[in-house]
Amino acid sequence: MHFLLASEPVNKIVEASTEAAAAVSVGPDTAMLLLTVFVLAVFIGVEVITKIPPTLHTPLMSGSNAISGIALVGAVIAAGSGDSLLPKILGCAAVTLATINVVGGFMVTHRMLGMFRRKD
């Protein structure tokens, strides 16, 4: 990813991160750590998901879809913080959409998986 390799902006980041050390700063170390987390999580994902049988692929899609509604966490922060109205409204819309995704996704997956129970 080019923003991690470019050396020139790094100085800027160092400045920014020392200025806002207490806030959610993105220093070079933080970015590298986050990237490490990202790549390792992709590997875990591949390992786990290749073992899921085709029979469960639709529940996998709706369930993982619900998990991607995790953006709800960011949406909650956006809707609840700051003073200006516009970002709050954007955040509120995001909370609504992400909640539909999360609640609908997990519920419909639950409903579907109930059908896969052994019936004899």
Partner 1 sequence: MDPRLVQLAYLLSAVLFILGLKGLTRPRSAVRGNLLGACGLLVAVVVTLFQAGLDYRLIVGGLAVGAVIGAVFAIRVQMTEMPQMVALFNGFGGAASTLVAGANLVQTESFSTDMLVATALSGMIGAVTFSGSLIAWGKLKEFRKLDQIKIPAQQIVNGTLVLACIALTVAMANGDGSTMTVVTYWGISTLALILGVTLVVSIGGADMPVVIALLNSYSGLAAAATGFVLSNTVLIISGSLVGASGLILTRIMCVAMNRSLPNVLFGKMGATGSTLDADDVYADVKSTSADEVAMVLEVASRVVIVPGYGMAVAQAQHTVSDLRKLLVSKQIEVDFAIHPVAGRMPGHMNVLLAEADVPYEALREMDEINPTMEQADVTIVLGANDVVNPLARTDPDSPIAGMPIIDVDKSRTIIVIKRSLSPGFAGIPNPLFAADNALMLFADGRKAIQDIINALNES
Q: Is residue 29 at the binding interface for partner 1, with CB under 8 A as the rule?
A: no
If one asks whether residue 18 binds partner 1 (CB under 8 A), the answer comes out as: no
Cβ contacts of 80 within 8 Å, gap of 6 or more: 88, 91
Q: Write down the least CB distance from residue 79 to partner 1, Å.
A: 5
Residue 73 found at the interface with partner 1 (CB under 8 A): yes
> Taking CB under 8 A as the rule, does residue 7 contact partner 1?
no
Contact call for residues 94 and 78 (beta carbons, < 8 A): yes
State in angstroms the smallest separation of the CB of 75 from partner 1.
5
Which position among 5, 7, 29, 100 is part of the footprint of partner 1 (CB under 8 A)? 100
Separation between Cα atoms, residue 58 and residue 60, nearest integer Å:
5
Beta-strand (E) ranges in the chain? none
If one asks whether residue 96 binds partner 1 (CB under 8 A), the answer comes out as yes
